[in-house]
Amino acid sequence: MLRDSIIAMMALFAAFSCQSKDTQLETALGSAGENRPTIEAVLKHYRTQDPVPEKFEAALFLIKNMPAHYSYMGDSIYLYYDYAQRILSNDTLTPESQRDSLLMVTKRLYSHLPERTVPDTRVISKDYLIHNIDLSYDQWKNCPWASQLTFDEYLEWLLPYKAVDLQELDYWRDTLSLCYGDGMRNPVVNDVEYNTTTGVADMIRNEVLGKINRHGLYTESGLPLLSASLLHRQTFGHIPDYALLAALSFRSMGVPVVIDETPVGARDEAATRWFVILSDRGKEVTSEWDLATQIGWSFFPYERGPKVFRQTYAIDERRLDYIKNAKYVYPFDITVKDVTDKYFLSSHVSVTIEKHNRSKLKDRYVYIASAIRSTQDHIAPSAGPEPDGWKIVDFCKLKGSKAVFRNMGREVMYIVLGYDGVALVPISDPFILKKDGTTQYVSADTVFSPYLNKWCNKPI
């Protein structure tokens, strides 16, 4: 997955080296290879057969950003999904046994699948894309609970044909609205909650919750079940699984929704991925724990974190620029948007990098990492290229001796890392970004002392 992501990003760099919007489409079409005529046919459809300007713009939006989205290559994933379907249908198995079974078969036969992916531009079909655009557009224009959306909001909150990468390009809108749309088909018509975003979202949420028998299992499991036929058959799942199910179920019925997430775990106990709906009042309203909690309650008032990112369909230009220009490329997700200030008190942090540290660097890009502790408050081993006890959450370009990181969550301990040609190494002392926005440096010798645990998050 990591290697494939880096290759994909390099390809994107090549594809998007010309930043003109006019060529962005051309490069997207170029990445489609033999599938180019299919995608061009979609644009032609909205120019000639169904000439609605907003639909055409919606198609353009999806296509231009499509090179950043991926599907499994080949048909092996369907073998896994078939197996999963048999396991999940077996009532004699407990959810734990089902999870273990899927994990075992993943490790034995399918662990390589996430490394073999293909850009959606190469595999998406015309019918699929048009169906998705038409359905979501119709919902935007005709569903009272979507009428508050601007066009830009429609693009990100309702339109996308997938919510996560490697999601199957199937008719999930149709499947999930059929599975969880009983309430929508037989609503209690009234003058207050009926036809409101909040009312419809809550109705769907309750219906999903009632039908899936949510069973949270938070340890390692097999490949995620990202096909429509399996999403509603889940007998167990992580919080992100249920957040995804909620988001797709909402979108399938025209409720505007996005998924937000943190790059690190909670400090105490909190979700790391959740859904957000856009209410009738045009305000973003969060869930707390996936489907299990009512929408709109306070969001973990005691939690702190370095960053919150919103999963987007659109490519983030800043990150794309980073891929293009960085000598060392960290596997940042490039379809995200920084929404930290919607959740946490945040600051722009300016860190002076001393000359002796700057001299080590082989790249102008530097990284800010937040401190992580294991559940036993020990140093958490790194799952990536950063040193143990740290998790990179953002980057910036060094300007002179200053590294300015924007929108960093307060009450968190950080460190700045740089690339020395071989590895990512510390180039600053650790520091705490205090609640009042000031920074307090911590000696590298004491950074892992227990008394500093309260400034650290758990790893994912």
Partner 1 sequence: MKNIFGFIGASVSCVLLAVLSSCSNEQRYLRYALKVAGENRPQLERVLDHYRHEDKDPSKLAAAKYLIINMPGHFSYTDTATVDFYYNAALKIQQSGGTPEWQRDTLRSISDALNYSLSRAVESDIKLVTSDYLIDNIDKAFHEWRTRPWAQHLTFDEFRDWILPYKVIDYQLLDSWRDTLSARFSDSISSVPSDDDRRLSIYGAIDIVRNEIHTKNPPRVLWEERSGIPLRSAQTWANMTFGSCYDYVTMGTAVFRSLGLPSVVDRVPVWGRNSEGHSWFTFLSDQGKETPTINSLIVAAGMPFYPYERIPKVWRNTFTINRDIVRYRNTAKYVHQFDLCEHDVTDHYVRTSDIEVQLMSDIRIDDKYAYIAVFVNSGGPSWRVLDYGEVKHGKVCFRNMGRNVLYIALYYNGSVLAPASEPFILEKDGGVRYIHSEGGDGVRSIDIRRKYFESYNVVDMRRRILGGKIQCATRPDFSDSVTLYTIETTKIPDKIPVCARAPYRYWRYLSPNGSWGSVAEVLFMDSLGNPVKGCGIAVPEAGQDAIDRAYDGDMLSNFEVNQPDGNWVGLDLGTPGDVSFVRIVPRSDDNDICPGNQYELMFFDGLDWFSIGRKVADDNTLHYENVPINKLLWLRNYTRGNDERPFLLDHDGNIEWW
Do residues 286 and 303 touch, judged by C-beta distance below 8 A? Answer: no
Among 22, 91, 188, 219, binds partner 1 (CB under 8 A): 188
- Closest contact distance (angstroms) between CB of 302 and partner 1 is 5
**Which ranges constitute the DSSP H helices of 46-180?**
53-65, 76-89, 95-105, 126-142, 151-157, 172-180
Q: Which two tokens stand for residue 136?
A: 């979501």
Shortest CB 295 distance to partner 1, Å: 7
Nearest distance in Å: CB 296, partner 1 = 3
Instruction: Tell me if 196 contacts partner 1 by CB under 8 A.
Output: yes
356 sits in which H/E element: helix 355-358
Using rule CB under 8 A, residue 192 touches partner 1: yes
The reply on whether position 437 binds partner 1 by CB under 8 A is: yes
Give residue 322's Cα distance to chain centre.
19
Determine if 434 is a binding residue for partner 1 (CB under 8 A). Answer: yes
Does 295 bind partner 1 (CB under 8 A)? Our answer is yes
Binds partner 1 by CB under 8 A, chosen from 435, 440, 446, 449: 435
- Selected from 10, 17, 302, 348, the binder of partner 1 by CB under 8 A is 302
Binding of residue 345 to partner 1 (CB under 8 A): yes
CB of 182 to partner 1, least distance (A): 16
CB of 346 to partner 1, least distance (A): 8
Residue 293 CA to residue 351 CA, distance in Å, equals: 40
Q: Is 193 in the site for partner 1 (CB under 8 A)?
A: yes
Compute the least distance from the CB of residue 294 to partner 1, in Å.
7
> Phi, psi at residue 412, to the nearest 5°?
-135, 150
For residues 87 and 278, which CB has a smaller minimum distance to partner 1 in the complex?
278
In the shown chain, the binding pattern of residues 242 to 281 toward partner 1, with x for contact by CB under 8 A and - for none, equals: -------------------------------------xxx
Q: Which residues 6+ apart lie within 8 Å of 115 measured at CB?
A: 1, 3, 4
362: phi then psi, degrees, rounded to nearest 5: -110, 10
Bridge pairing between strands 309-311 and 257-261: antiparallel
194 sits near partner 1 (criterion: CB under 8 A): yes
Q: Which of residues 146-185 bind partner 1 (CB under 8 A)?
A: 147-149
**β-pair type (431-433, 439-441):** antiparallel
User: What's CA 402's distance to the chain center, in Å?
Assistant: 30
Surface-to-core class of residue 51, CB atoms within 10 Å of its CB (0-12 exposed, 13-18 middle, 19+ buried): exposed
For residues 410 and 433, give the distance between their C-alpha atoms in angstroms, rounded to a whole number. 5
Q: Considering the complex, what minimum distance in angstroms separates the CB of residue 187 from partner 1?
A: 10
- Closer residue to partner 1, CB minimum distance, 211 or 435: 435
269, 254 in Cβ contact below 8 A? no
Q: How far apart are CA 51 and CA 376, in angstroms?
A: 59
Q: Does 198 bind partner 1 (CB under 8 A)?
A: yes
Instruction: Tell me which stretch binds partner 1 (CB under 8 A): 45-53, 309-317, 344-352, 362-370.
Output: 344-352
SS3 content of the chain, % helix, strand, coil (to 5): 40, 15, 40
* Total interface residues for partner 1 by CB under 8 A: 38
Q: What tokens appear for 124 in the block?
A: 């998406």
Closest CB to partner 1 among residues 414, 419: 414
Is residue 454 part of the contact set for partner 1 (CB under 8 A)? yes
Return the residue matching tokens 């008394």.
451
Does position 327 interact with partner 1 (CB under 8 A)? The reply is: no
Instruction: Single out the residue of 297, 317, 404, 446 in contact with partner 1 (rule: CB under 8 A).
Output: 297
- Figure out which of the listed residues 48, 49, 298, 376 binds partner 1, where binding follows CB under 8 A: 298
Under a CB-based contact definition with an 8 Å cutoff, are residues 173 and 252 in contact?
yes
Q: In this structure, what token pair is assigned to residue 50?
A: 């169904």
Residues written for the chain: 460
Q: Of the candidates 45, 310, 373, 410, which one interacts with partner 1 according to CB under 8 A?
A: 410
| Residue 452 touching partner 1 (CB under 8 A) | no
Residue of 397, 410, 293 lying closest to 343 (CA atoms): 410
Q: CB of residue 193 vs partner 1: minimum separation in angstroms?
A: 4
Site residues, partner 1 (CB under 8 A): 144, 147-149, 188-194, 196, 198-199, 279-283, 285, 294-298, 301-302, 341, 343-346, 410, 434-437, 454
